[in-house]
Amino acid sequence: MSALFSKYKAVRSMTRSLAKNLSAEDQMVQSCPEASPVKWHQAHTTWFFETFVLRPFLPDYKSFHEKFHWLFNSYYWERDGNDETGWCVFTLIGWQGLSTLLDTPVCHISFFEADAFARWRGCRLPDQALASGTFHSILHPTSGTATIYRAGDGNRVLRLTDFKTSNGPDVHVYMVAADDANDSTTVERAGFIDLGSMKGNLGDQNYAVGPDVDLTKYRAVSIWCKRFSVNFGTAPLVANQTISQK
């Protein structure tokens, strides 16, 4: 316990040193979406140390103020031995066991928090459609739907569904830096990223979309024959405006 207390004091001392020139009003400001205000860095550190170290392991520990346990808990979670999950959550109708809320939709959490919860539950996040479009024919009859998904693990994938085109030599799937490509020249002039060889001219298939592919720039999918430099067909993509595309 003494070692933990010494480490806590060192961390606390650094926090207070960093904040010493800030007024109470300054400490209310959130500097960026990814960081809490300074007041929470100080208050939540106190709550964490008290909740997970002092209360469970220090006999006859008495809080400085009982309200601080609730006030400084920015997550509004606490241990609950009566719930099967071991946790309870503070809601608008009071404290509730986490097991009663597992199927309740949540909002205002980051991808990393959602992913961590899904992994804890032995599940995965659903895929999110970032952009989609329907193929139209250029040189050869081409049909189906192209959709860019963000998978539950955060990676992106291009999924072709109900896909059909002509077979050919050395056919690839391109992401094209244009709104659409109604000919072969547009693909070559606009620029493209090669997602790899076409996996088949019939049926559903997936292609990895790397982190370097900016979907605000590459807005169309082309089925491209490299041997003859021709565009079999194109799917112009329409972005899902409710989700960040990059």
Residue at 115 is within a domain:
no
Residue at 184 is within a domain:
yes
* pLDDT tops 90 at residue 125: no
Residue 163 falls in which region: left (phi positive, over 0), alpha (psi -120 to 50) or beta:
beta
- Average pLDDT of the segment spanning 104-121: 73
Are 135 and 225 members of one domain?
yes
In the chain, where do the E strands start and end?
77-79, 87-91, 94-97, 128-134, 136-137, 143-150, 156-164, 171-176, 192-197, 205-209, 220-225, 230-236, 238-239
Residue at 14 is within a domain:
yes
Last residue of a domain, one of 50, 73, 96: 73
Summarize pLDDT for 60-81 with one digit per residue, the tens: 888 888 777 766 765 667 778 8
Residue at 205 is within a domain:
yes
Summarize pLDDT for 181-204 with one digit per residue, the tens: 999 999 999 999 999 999 999 999
Residue whose entry in the numeric block shows the structure tokens 């006859």: 60
Residue at 165 is within a domain:
yes
Range(s) of the domain holding residue 54: 1-73
Single-letter amino acid code for the residue at 37: P
What pLDDT score was predicted for residue 241?
67
What pLDDT score was predicted for residue 53?
81
Residue at 178 is within a domain:
yes
Are 147 and 211 members of one domain?
yes
Are 136 and 234 members of one domain?
yes
Are 133 and 208 members of one domain?
yes
Residue whose entry in the numeric block shows the structure tokens 């003859």: 228
Split into its structural domains, the chain has a count of 2
Nearest to 128 by CA among 204, 219, 209, 233: 209
More confident residue, 159 or 74: 159
Residue 240 falls in which region: left (phi positive, over 0), alpha (psi -120 to 50) or beta:
beta
Last residue of a domain, one of 51, 73, 95: 73
- Average pLDDT of the segment spanning 101-106: 75
Separation CA 158–CA 131 (nearest Å): 9
Last residue of a domain, one of 26, 53, 73: 73
pTM above 0.85, yes or no: no
Are 146 and 217 members of one domain?
yes
* pLDDT tops 90 at residue 145: yes
Residue at 18 is within a domain:
yes
- Three-state DSSP class for residue 78: strand
Residue at 2 is within a domain:
yes
More confident residue, 17 or 47: 17
Alpha helices (H) in 20-135, listed in sequence order: 38-49, 55-57, 68-71, 111-120
* pLDDT tops 80 at residue 212: yes
Percent of residues, the chain, with pLDDT higher than 90: 42
Are 135 and 49 members of one domain?
no
What pLDDT score was predicted for residue 45?
74
Are 140 and 234 members of one domain?
yes
Mean pLDDT of the chain: 86
